[in-house]
Amino acid sequence: MNKRRLQLVLIFVAFALPALLAILMQTRWFHWEPETTRNRGELIQPVIALPALGDAAAIADGHRWTVLVRVPAQCDAGCTRRIQLLGRIREAQGKEMDRVQMLAWPASGSPVEAPYASWQPAEAIASALNLPEGAVVLIDPLGNAMMRYRIDADPTDVRKDVAHLLRWSKVGT
């Protein structure tokens, strides 16, 4: 085999081998799925369809993702700082900020500061969400609660998940 033919075969193998490996990994013998996910919150499976449970017009507008924060009745300095950092998630989205709304579910009718809008859910929605004070939930534009964060979750993790959802989701565009 001459040198030119060997180069041609090597070039063909270099381009064909990755395609063949990708096809092979999707067959029933070698089906591969990644073990980890990129989301930082806990996926709610199945999602909780809030419009089916009561008046969720403030949430299910069809255009905006909602970051719902359950504001505790007693909030120390660390809690206040965390709530302020969570409030900056919308602005951190840059040109996509119009696709995000910030809602606060205050405990016992406490006043809510900007950028949050106050929201009191119907009893059926409150019991379905079962959200402890200080926790956060992401709700899609159709009104489905789809991701939950612990009380001690880092606001940066919530921001990164919202950015990822906005980048890949065509719902609410």
C-alpha 6/C-alpha 1 separation (Å) is: 7
Whether residue 100 sits in one domain with residue 18? no
Instruction: Please provide the average confidence, as pLDDT, over all residues in the chain.
Output: 87
CATH number of the structural domain spanning residue 146:
3.40.30.10
Domain that holds residue 28: 1-33
Residues 93 and 122 occupy one common structural domain = yes
pLDDT band at residue 137 under the 50/70/90 scheme: very high
- Give the end-to-end CA distance of the chain in Å, rounded to a whole number: 57
Q: Is residue 144 situated within a structural domain? A: yes
Does residue 64 form part of some domain?
yes
75 domain residue, yes or no: yes
Q: Does one domain contain both 26 and 88?
A: no
34: confidence class by pLDDT, cuts 50, 70, 90: low
CB-based contacts of 14: which residues, under 8 Å, 6+ apart? none
Quick check: is 19 in a domain? Answer: yes
Q: Is residue 128 assigned to a domain?
A: yes
> Quick check: 129 pLDDT over 80?
yes
pLDDT attached to residue 92: 93
Same domain, residue pair 27 and 59? no
Predicted confidence at residue 31, as pLDDT, reads 67
Pair (21, 81) in one structural domain: no
Q: Is the domain of 5 the same as that of 83? A: no
162, 172, 155: which is closest to 94 by C-alpha?
A: 162
Q: Which pLDDT score is estimated for 68? A: 93
Q: Both 28 and 46 in a single domain?
A: no
- Is the residue at 173 inside a domain? no
Model pLDDT, residue 163: 92
For residue 10, pLDDT beyond 90 = yes
Place of tokens 């969400």: 129
Residues 49 and 129 in one domain: yes
The number of domains in the chain is: 2
42's CB contacts (< 8 A; 6+ apart) are 147, 148, 149, 150
| 151 CA to centre of own chain | 16
pLDDT at residue 98, as a whole number: 92
pLDDT over threshold 70, residue 109:
no
For residues 143 and 71, state if they share a domain.
Answer: yes
Asked whether residue 16 falls in the same domain as residue 76, the answer is no
Residues 119 and 150 in one domain: yes
Instruction: For residues 27 and 48, state if they share a domain.
Output: no
126 domain-assigned: yes
